[in-house]
Structure 1
Amino acid sequence: MTVQLALSAALSGLRTTQQQAALLSHNLANATTAGYVRRDLNLSAVVNAGQGGGVRVDSIGRKVDELLIRDARYETSRYTAQEARASALADYALVLGQPQDEKSVSTQLSKLQQAFSRLHDMPNDDAAQNAVVAQATALAAGLNTAADAAQAVIGDARDRLQTSVDTVNAALHRVGDLNGSIAALEARGGDAGDLRDERDRLLDQVSQEIGIRTYTGDDGQVVVMTRNGQTLMDRSLEPGDTPLALVGGELQINGQRLAWLGDGAPPSGTAPNPDTEIQTGRIMGYVQTITRDMPRALDQLDQLAEGLVQGFQAAEADPAGAGLFVLAAGTDGAAARIAVNPAVQGESWRVRSGIQAAAPLEPGDQTQIDRFLGAFTASHGFTATDMPANATLGAYATAMVSAQQGYRTGAETEMNARKIGADTLETARVNRDGVNIDDEMQKLLLIEQSYGASAQVIQVAGRMIDILLQIKG
């Protein structure tokens, strides 16, 4: 090897270590930047006419594990779906209460039964009669409040769903812009690592809202699809495009139905398709809250309200008339419309003699009170999901409150399990692709030594050239 080759190799080493130091400093500066992927130089030996000529930089490497990223996004989207459901169920369960809570419907129903029992012992006592009316009013109000809470949860889920849709659309538009920038930059031989980091962060954000799959083409542009294969974005979007949209009572993807969110049964031909249903992400959690969790809760409440109306109507001496509870006019469910019969307001003697009675019964006559108490012990038929087919009003109310608490705890348990899985994979992703400061500092020492060695070679070569010049002189 000639002195010239030695100088050339040493200079290439200096240039390479300078680039390595610059890249390493960039890594260290972004050690705590979310979504930053560690960079490395891809090096190769320079060989000229069979002789070594130093080292060259081929490219800047941004090596990620696409399978690990896919799994991490999937687990995160499963977690966020359960998080959305658990939050909604907790909001409703907080209002409904535990079976033993004073505010729960089951406790209010039990108190009404106790009020009738005290009235049975003191049928002519005005205070006992008023207590029955007051407790019946509290029970009806409790059902109204629970129904309002369920509707409020649905309204909140709709608002959050719209926010998620807007988030996804905004992120996908930016991803489309980055696709073009990455393709253009890499076509010129530039480093698009920072742009790819930003794109991955956006895709992570999208995956929290809706489960996605991605495919990266040879030109570096990414295609985004739902987990069941529907295309959300094919490399770029036009201004004004909305891949996801809430149109009327439907959630749509590029004009195709994903979910029916309207009131009542879906129109003909809009039945859910298992092949196109949302599988994960917050959007799935909101859709399930709107279409399954809260409608189930309202149905359970409505059947209890209907049971109260029918049970106390049947307990009247004349079952053809209205009983202690009535349903106000309207299109809302029975739980939202149930109220105490206005006939007892100011005439509490009717809870002893019958709501439809023309006059009070004889003092001490407990016949009608016995009928009312029988409404609590009679078995009623129910068809609500997860509820007993036949049960007393009290047993049904307790089962309903317990079931709702069970839905909440079940969703929270699954959410916590999903979070463990998501955190584990995200940690593995950061450990593999992120910046380890200790490792980078070790590399910095090697760079320093390599730079010093290359500089020493140049100094030696310089002295050798000086000696040769002196000899020739």
Structure 2
Amino acid sequence: MSLSGALSNALSGLTATARNSSVTASNISNAMTEGYARRTLETSARSTGSYGGVQVDGVVRHVDHGLVADRREANSALQQSDTISQFYSRVEDLLGTPEDGASLSGRLTNFESALIASASRPDLSERLTTTLYAAQDVVDAFRRISDGIQDIRMEADAEIDSSVTRMNTLLDQVADLNTGINKARMTGGDPNSLIDHRQAVIDELSEYIPVIEVARANDTVALYSAGGAILLDGSSAVEFGFTRTNMITANMTQGAGLLSGLTINGVAIDTEDDRSPILGGRLAALFRARDSLAEGAQARIDSAARDLVERFQDPALDPTLLPGDAGLFTDGGGAFLPADEVGLAGRLQINAAVDPAQGGETWRLRDGINAGAQGPVSDAALLQDMLSALAVKRPPASGPFATSGLSAPDLASSLISMAGTERHLAEQSLSFATTREAELKARLLSDGVDTDEEMQRLLLIEQTYGANARLVQTIEDLLDRLMSI
């Protein structure tokens, strides 16, 4: 080999090792960067010309696409489980626990105790007042729970709105990155940093909706939802649509057209069906929390409110009541009609006839809601009948316990127990999803940058660079000797 050939080989080696050092340094500096994939320099023996040497073929980005897809799916499931778990925890907090005196069952137990005290001394007005306050506490508990459920729905609606906005932004970013990556490939540039960024963007998108990534030409990708909807192909992204509702009441549902659903490019899609295009992530869980889960929780508390109202609205209990008259517990001040059950818990009120603050008299608790004048102060018959009405075991007219015979406090305790069971099951699901996502993330990170390995590679690069530099120096010395002859 001629000196010029040897020099060409040495210079190509210097070029390759310099490029390799740059790639290795990039790996080390980004060892803690989320979404960064390890790179290696791909080289081959130079076959063009007569000198040989080494040529740089490009930078290879190392990533396990199957593992990335599994981790995204696990992340979607985690976000869904977390959203559902938070919902059930908040509902349980609203209902309280059996040992909590401020819980619904605790308020009903206090009301029962107040009735017992009043029945033992019906002549004492202070005991009647205590009974009124206990009844008002029961009403307040029902209304607080109902209002809390609607607050959960409004918060979910607001989160859906912000999630949709963020999803549209992320899809636009993926489309722009696709364009940049395609341009880099077409012009011979290095698109790996753009690909890293795109992977991080798609990872975030997968929190809201399970995403399937499909490779396209020049390292671009197409995105589909796990439910089969096209999200992006090339540089064209779909647009999700949603309209936020600032005030939500119990009667407002998506099915009735009073709450916004979701659209893709203006076309309405199912948000909760098993075949929903968005099934499996945070967005679907928010719709589920706002709609079916919250509506179910509201229906259960309305069922308990109806049971309580009907126990005290019966003319057989209070002879001063006529059919159609309101009892001690009313629907917004009037009699309850079965067709108006939805939202009853939030409209519950004490009958004005027994409430001095509304112009009533507490002695009507003893003598009858519609009594025109006081009766014998020692007559505890109505108070005892009220106590019996509260304690009698009867099947509720609606709700999940319609086949069971329960007293009013027992019905409240059953609702609390059901909420606790649902919360426990949701936490179990969340625990599994958290463990699975963490394990897949750890496996993904194990395929990332190993700084010890990269430092060893740097030492090898240093040795290789030194050898090539020494060869160049030797050739230069030989050429100088030739020139001096």
Question: Structure 2 length as normaliser, TM-score?
Answer: 0.88
Aligned to 1:457: 471
- The 8 Å contact of residues 96 and 103 in structure 1, kept in 2 or not, is answered as no
Counterpart of 1:103? 102
Q: 2:331 aligns with which of 327, 330, 335?
A: 327
Aligned to 1:264: none
CA offsets per residue over residues 336-387 of structure 1, 9 Å max, x none? 0111111001311121222233433424322212211111222232332477
Name whichever of 297-306 and 319-328 sits farther off: 319-328
2:349 to 339, 345, 348: 339
| 2:446 counterpart residue number | 431
Deviation for aligned residue 1:111: 0.7
Q: Does 1:258 align with 2:269?
A: yes
What is aligned with 1:243? 240
Match of 1:409 in 2: 424
1:319 CA drift (Å): 5.9
Once the two structures are superposed, what CA deviation does each residue of 1:154-181 show, in whole Å capped at 9, x if it has no partner?
Answer: 0000001101000000111111111111
Mapping 1:17-56, distance limit 5 Å: 17-47=17-47, 53-56=52-55
TM-score when normalising by structure 1: 0.90
Matched, 1:374 2:384: no
SS in 2 for 1:165: helix
Q: Determine the C-alpha separation between the residues in 2 that align with 1:395 and 1:149.
A: 22
Alignment of 1:397 onto 2:407: no
Instruction: Map 1:231-310 onto structure 2 (within 5 A).
Output: 231-237=230-236, 242-246=239-243, 249-259=260-270, 273-310=273-310
Return 14-23 or 38-47, whichever deviates more.
38-47
Instruction: Give the C-alpha shift of residue 468 in structure 1.
Output: 5.6
Is the 8 Å Cα contact of residues 98 and 416 (structure 2) preserved in structure 1?
yes
Deviation at 1:296, TM superposition (A): 1.2
The 1:73–1:386 alpha-carbon spacing in structure 2 relative to 1, beyond 3 Å, is farther
* Aligned pairs for 1:79-94 within 5 A: 79-94=78-93
| Counterpart check, 1:360 vs 2:352 | no
Q: CA RMSD in A?
A: 2.2
Match in the other structure for 1:226? 225
- Measured at CA, do residues 388 and 55 of structure 1 come closer, stay the same or move farther in structure 2, by a change above 3 Å? farther
Count matched residues. Answer: 456
Once the two structures are TM-superposed, the CA of residue 52 in structure 1 deviates from its matched residue by: 7.2
Cα distance change, pair 387–10 in 1 and its aligned pair in 2 (3 A): farther
Q: How many Å separate the matches in 1 of 2:17 and 2:160?
A: 51
Aligned residue in 1 for 2:247: none
CA distance in 1, matches of 2:273, 2:266: 15
The alpha-carbon deviation at position 11 of structure 1 amounts to 1.5
1:316 touches 1:354 (CA, 8 Å); kept in 2?
yes
Greater CA drift, 290-299 or 333-342 = 290-299
Distance 1:86 1:373 in 2: 38
Where structure 2 has 5 or more consecutive residues not aligned to the other structure, the ranges are: 245-258, 335-339
Q: After the TM superposition, which residues 27-176 of structure 1 pair with which residues of structure 2 at under 5 Å, given as runs?
A: 27-47=27-47, 53-176=52-175
**Residue identity in the other structure for 1:134:** Y
Shift of 1:223: 1.2
Structure 2 vs 1, CA of residues 344 and 98 (structure 1 numbering), >3 Å: closer, same or farther? same
2:328 is aligned with what amino acid? L
Shift of 1:257: 2.8
Q: Give 3-state SS (helix, strand or coil) of 1:339's partner.
A: strand
8 Å CA contact 1:352, 1:369 repeated in 2: yes
Match of 2:254 in 1: none
In structure 1, C-alpha distance between the alignment counterparts of 2:352 and 2:205, rounded to whole Å: 54
Give the letter for the 1:334 counterpart. Answer: L
- Share of identical aligned residues, percent? 29
* Aligned equivalents of 1:191, 1:149: Cα separation in 2: 53
Cα 1:245–1:405 change in 2 (3 A) is same
Query: C-alpha deviations, 1:126-174, integer Å up to 9, x for none?
Result: 1111111110011001100110000001000000110100000011111
The reply on whether 1:208 has 2:207 as its aligned counterpart is yes
Q: Are the counterparts in 2 of residues 10 and 455 from structure 1 also a CA contact under 8 Å?
A: yes
C-alpha displacement at 1:465, in angstroms? Answer: 4.4
8 Å CA contact retained: 2:206, 2:281:
yes
Residue 257 of structure 1: SS of its match in structure 2? strand
Work out the CA distance in 2 between the residues paired with 1:17 and 1:135.
83
CA separation in 1, counterparts of 2:9 and 2:182? 34
**Candidates 305, 315, 318, aligned match of 1:316:** 318
Instruction: Report which stretch shifted further, 309-318 or 183-192.
Output: 309-318
Amino acid at match of 1:377: A
Distance 1:95-1:149 versus aligned 2 partners, 3 A rule:
same
Higher mean C-alpha displacement, 336-345 vs 4-13: 4-13
Q: CA deviation at 1:91?
A: 3.0
Mapped contact 2:222–2:232 kept (Cα < 8 A): yes
How far residue 281 of structure 1 moved from its aligned partner, in angstroms, is 1.7
- Partner residue in 1 for 2:256: none
